[in-house]
Amino acid sequence: MSQKITGIFNILATPFTPDYQLDVTSLRQLVNFQLNMGAYGLTILGVLGEAAKMSVDERKLVVETVIETVAGRVPVVVGTSHEDTATCVALSKAAFAAGAAGVMIAPPRMEKPTDERVIGLYSEIATHIDQPIVVQDFPPVNGVIMSADMLATLAEKIPNARYLKLEDPPLMEKIGAIRARTDKFEIFGGLGGMFLLEELGRGASGTMTGFAFTEILVAIYQAFNEGRRDEAERIFDHYLPLIRYENQPVINLTIRKELLYRRGAMAHPTLRQPFVPIDAGTHEEIGWILKRVGIADPTQKVQL
């Protein structure tokens, strides 16, 4: 299957039951929810999908459930990062065998992550898989700095590394620096959607983020792409208080799952241990913000 990886991808949360089991029913429900909200694709098993807190069997089950539920409606990108290169390759092969459109790979935390060693790692992976790789730039998580020069070299050397997911601020400056060096990458922003409009303005192909109101990002993206910039700005700026609130460091995923739970997209807001819980004040603030931006009933698709 060759599906275009572009536009607004939702980084899918992974639902758990109150006793921390994988909640497969909710997972199917969440997939359909995101597609109903207009997601151009799904990215699964990223950091925000709590992949590191799942067993290999559970990860496999998530891949199969999601791809089966999606049933070819949109492309699915699977996070397959692993400290063991062979396991990363095995997970990637399994993902493509199951029907993935691409795999997203960040280097593991490592000693002395020189450019040479990081490019070597992707080259090694690319000797085993020739399908699309989304290179994930995520220094807050792995401590690996990927410079624009290094990324341009990587694009030259590895023909299937054609997608780039950025998470290293300042993001717009980084998009600009990469664009000035190579046009080989489709670039995706992140940061919870905080700079979606400016990222698109710099030439991003879309974003991959877990923000709980996918339809808002989709509306912004479509208005921008169709030249209705005023409308894109109006929507983005109107919902920014919510985007910003969800995007708090440390507790962003806890808030996001609470929002998805309030939206009826999954049966429980549970995270796996260890995670940082939110207090009563944050629960109240979530209600306050939703009211401020005019979302009376979060279970409904926001009308824009």
Binder to a second copy among 68, 83, 130, 297 (CB under 8 A)? Answer: 83
Does residue number 283 form part of the binding site for a second copy (CB under 8 A)?
no
For residues 125 and 88, the answer to whether their CB atoms sit within 8 Å is yes
Site string for a second copy, 108-137 (x = CB under 8 A): x-xxxxx--x--xx--x-------------
Beta strand residue intervals within the chain, DSSP E: 7-11, 41-44, 76-79, 102-105, 133-136, 161-165, 186-189, 206-209
For residues 164 and 184, the answer to whether their CB atoms sit within 8 Å is no
Binder to a second copy among 122, 160, 198, 301 (CB under 8 A)? Answer: 198
Site string for a second copy, 23-42 (x = CB under 8 A): --------------------
* Rounded CA separation 126/133 (Å): 9
Paired with 44 in beta bridges are 78
For residues 231 and 223, the answer to whether their CB atoms sit within 8 Å is yes
| Identified catalytic residue from 53, 93, 112, 165 | 165
SS3 (DSSP) at 44: strand
* Rounded CA separation 125/54 (Å): 22
Binder to a second copy among 25, 36, 87, 225 (CB under 8 A)? Answer: 87
Residues that bind a second copy (CB under 8 A): 20, 52-56, 83-87, 90, 107-108, 110-114, 117, 120-121, 124, 147, 169-170, 172-173, 176-177, 194-195, 198, 201-202, 233, 236-237, 240-241, 244-245, 248-251, 272-276, 278-279, 281-282, 285, 288, 292-293
Residues assigned a catalytic role: 165
